[in-house]
């Protein structure tokens, strides 16, 4: 596997390289290198700079140390029952895909790889799963990939051979979770981000060494901002060194642990973390606040819907109106009853949360593995006339395995 030695060195304290994983697209890689200061000096202990998904504009570069990456890998192994080999099905220039490679290499295995540059192929997944060695076998999927797996008897049979399947990148609908479990798949729903070296909460339970706090106004009841702490938290951003998200938590840094204040809203129920949405994506409609993720979970309980993104569009009367964009579970867009979708949300939640418009598309634009690009959808819908919206189509951007850009850390601690 190309770059295996470079990747393995990320787990060593004495490594001479700082690595920035980049997509395979030359122009995108150049933009990322420019934004994150490739080739410029960097801190002595930083071995990895990983780009965020860029949900708020310019990507930020989370800086990680070898010690933090090792802590993340050990915590994952402890939760799952021991080290093993991993099958990569995600782009490695994102943290989830990169961690699959690092966990396998750190455990002394050569990871299996599914080339997803042209999309996630079920035949490729089955072949790669059959050829994966190791005493324990793991993989990581996003919900859209899991949907395809459980709808294929051959892929489902291959997936049953894994000791655990991490599912993250986006919220996993309850209906999909039940379907996967009923099919005999050992799924683990994960929560984390680039700033925490990937998943750090599994099935609502913090991994070893991870602290979860809910930051609510005036200490009131949740939901509130999720604050994560532990050795795997990044040492700030490469291009935004004083970003307030890495400031001390409101209760103070008792133990000196690094903490990251996310933009996610959550509650702790029966000792388990439940993520309910993002503060920066809340829709203000008619004086009420609607969290898109909550509406999406209701819509995804409709068997005719495979994928969904909910967003707010400007409205002269309401301020914002709730809009849903859905991908049908079958090939026929007519299989989705858009009026039924609206009624379902109104019945489960509230009529104010029900989408005023529902658009059926072939695929959602994505900004990272499993992450719908709401900004792109907002731009598309805002630029369309009413007639154009009725026939709206979006083009799915294939995931990219990408490459690695590496540079010497010394002399001068150059970073690429």
User: Does 354 reside within a domain?
Assistant: yes
Report yes or no: 285 and 320 within 8 Å, Cβ to Cβ.
yes
Residue range(s) defining the domain that contains residue 315: 282-364
Q: What pLDDT, on a 0 to 100 scale, did the predictor assign at position 316?
A: 83
What is the pLDDT at residue 315? Answer: 86
Confidence (pLDDT) at 333: 59
Residue 293 inside a domain? The answer is yes
The whole-number pLDDT of residue 405 equals 37
Measured between alpha carbons, how far is 140 from 280 in angstroms, rounded to an integer?
A: 27
Residue 331 lies in a domain: yes
What is the pLDDT, as a whole number, of residue 394? 40
162: number of Cβ within 10 Å: 22
Q: How many residues does the chain have?
A: 416
> CA 292 to CA 262: how far, in whole Å?
17
| Residue with token string 């999406």 | 296
How many C-beta neighbours within 10 Å does residue 88 have? 24
Query: How many domains does the chain fold into?
Result: 1
355 is a domain residue: yes
Does 123 map to a domain?
A: no
Question: How many other C-beta atoms are found inside a 10 Å radius of the C-beta of residue 130?
Answer: 10
Helix (H, G, I), strand (E, B) or coil at 382: helix
- Domain assignment present for residue 319? The answer is yes
Q: Name the helix (H) or strand (E) containing 102.
A: helix 95-106
Give the chain's end-to-end CA distance (angstroms, integer).
Answer: 20
One-character DSSP codes across 129-192 = HHT--SSSEEEEE-HHHHHHHHT-HHHHHHHTTSSEEEE-SSPPPHHHHHHHHHTT--EEEEEE
Give dist(CA 121, CA 332) in Å, integer: 21
Kindly state whether residue 138 falls inside one of the protein's structural domains: no
DSSP state of 256: -
The Cα–Cα gap between 351 and 354 comes to 5
pTM of this prediction exceeds 0.85:
no
Q: At 340, which CATH number? A: 3.30.300.30
Report angle CA 365, 366, 367 to the nearest 5 degrees: 135
Task: Specify the pairing of strand 211-215 against strand 224-229.
Answer: antiparallel
Mean pLDDT by 10 residues, the chain (416 residues): 69 73 84 84 88 69 93 97 97 93 94 92 97 96 93 97 94 90 97 95 96 82 88 91 74 65 91 89 86 92 91 88 90 78 92 92 84 86 58 38 35 35
Say if 217 falls within a structural domain: no
């Amino acid at each position: 596997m190309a770059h295996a030695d470079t990747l393995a060195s990320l787990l060593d304290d004495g490594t001479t390289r700082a690595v920035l994983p980049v997509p395979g697209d030359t122009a995108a890689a150049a933009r990322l290198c420019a934004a994150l200061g490739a080739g410029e000096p960097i801190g002595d202990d930083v071995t990895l700079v990983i780009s965020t998904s860029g949900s708020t504009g310019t990507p930020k570069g989370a800086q990680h140390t070898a010690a933090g990456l090792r802590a993340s890998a050990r915590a994952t192994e402890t939760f799952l029952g021991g080290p093993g080999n991993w099958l990569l099905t995600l782009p490695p220039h994102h943290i989830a895909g990169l961690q699959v490679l690092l966990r396998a290499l750190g455990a002394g295995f050569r990871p299996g790889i599914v080339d997803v540059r042209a999309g996630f192929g079920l035949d490729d997944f089955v072949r790669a799963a059959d050829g994966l060695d190791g005493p324990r076998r793991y993989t990581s999927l996003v919900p859209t990939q899991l949907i395809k797996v459980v709808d294929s008897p051959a892929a489902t049979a291959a997936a049953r051979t894994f000791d655990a399947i991490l599912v993250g990148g986006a919220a996993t609908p309850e209906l999909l979770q039940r379907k996967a479990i009923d099919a005999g798949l050992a799924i683990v729903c994960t929560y984390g981000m680039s700033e925490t070296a990937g998943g750090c909460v599994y099935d609502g339970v913090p991994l070893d060494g991870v602290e979860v706090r809910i930051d609510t106004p005036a200490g009131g009841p949740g939901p509130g901002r999720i604050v994560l702490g532990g050795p795997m938290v990044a040492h700030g951003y490469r291009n935004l060194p004083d970003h307030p998200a890495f400031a001390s938590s409101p209760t103070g840094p008792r133990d000196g642990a690094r903490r990251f204040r996310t933009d996610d809203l959550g509650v702790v129920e029966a000792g388990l973390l439940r993520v309910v949405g993002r503060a920066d994506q809340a829709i203000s409609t008619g004086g009420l606040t609607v969290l898109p993720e909550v509406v999406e979970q209701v819509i995804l309980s409709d068997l005719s819907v495979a994928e969904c993104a909910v967003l707010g569009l400007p409205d002269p009367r309401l301020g914002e109106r709730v809009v849903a964009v859905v991908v049908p579970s079958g090939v026929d867009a007519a299989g989705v009853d858009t009026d039924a979708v609206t009624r379902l949300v109104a019945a489960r939640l509230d009529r104010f949360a029900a989408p005023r418009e529902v658009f059926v598309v072939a695929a959602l634009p994505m900004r990272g593995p499993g992450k719908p690009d709401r900004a792109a959808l907002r731009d598309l819908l805002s630029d369309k006339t009413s007639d154009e919206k009725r026939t709206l189509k979006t083009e799915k951007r294939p995931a990219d395995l990408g490459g690695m850009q590496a540079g010497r850390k010394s002399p001068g601690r150059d970073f690429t």
